[in-house]
Amino acid sequence: MTSPIVLALRVYYEDTDAAGIVYYANYFRFIERGRTELLRTLGHDQNALMKGGIAFAVRSASAEFLKPARLDDQLTIETAVASMGRAQVSFAQRILRDRELLFEAKVRVACIDPARGVPIAIPRTLHEQLSARQQLPQAT
């Protein structure tokens, strides 16, 4: 089992609502960054992938908002591969503040040809790299 990719992120004023609490949609922006960093860790830049005819589109997302993040919080975004298919990947993602779980999500993405907008198989090398990062869900 491998460790999740970890990304540190600070909450800025622009991320919050009038009460200084992170606006709910921004959690999805934060976890998108986590998935991007996982790809970077594997040596893949999303621009290069797109130029090569590979993109990822979110097919589904489920999320639990457990506790609010606030202005100036230092957050940790954890991203792990939960499961793999031939043309899709499911990610398990969490946002924490000082080890306190604030948010968790499962996001399923499909590999697509960006020019045609149709599903395609994940390239073999990338599939192998992502499969190697797959881990079993943690018991809660």
pTM here? 0.91
For the stretch 44-48, contacts whose Cβ atoms lie closer than 8 Å and that sit 24 or more positions apart, written own/partner, are 44/126
With left for phi above 0 and alpha for psi between -120 and 50, is residue 99 left, alpha or beta?
left
Q: Which residues is 10 bridged to in the sheet?
A: 74
pLDDT digits (tens, 9 = 90+) for 4-51: 899 999 999 999 999 999 999 999 999 999 999 999 999 999 999 999
Q: What percent of the chain has pLDDT over 90?
A: 91
- Tell me the three state secondary structure of residue 134: strand
Asked whether the predicted pLDDT for residue 134 surpasses 70, the reply is yes
CA distances from 27 to 57, 73, 78, 79, 93 (A): 17, 13, 12, 13, 11
Identify the active-site residue in 15, 17, 73, 98: 17
Residue identified by tokens 């020019």 is 115
Identify whether 17 is a catalytic site residue: yes
Q: Where does 5-133 sit in CATH, by number?
A: 3.10.129.10
Residues 62-83 have a mean pLDDT of: 97
pLDDT of residue 140: 42
pLDDT of residue 138: 53
- Look up residue 71 and give its two tokens: 């202005």
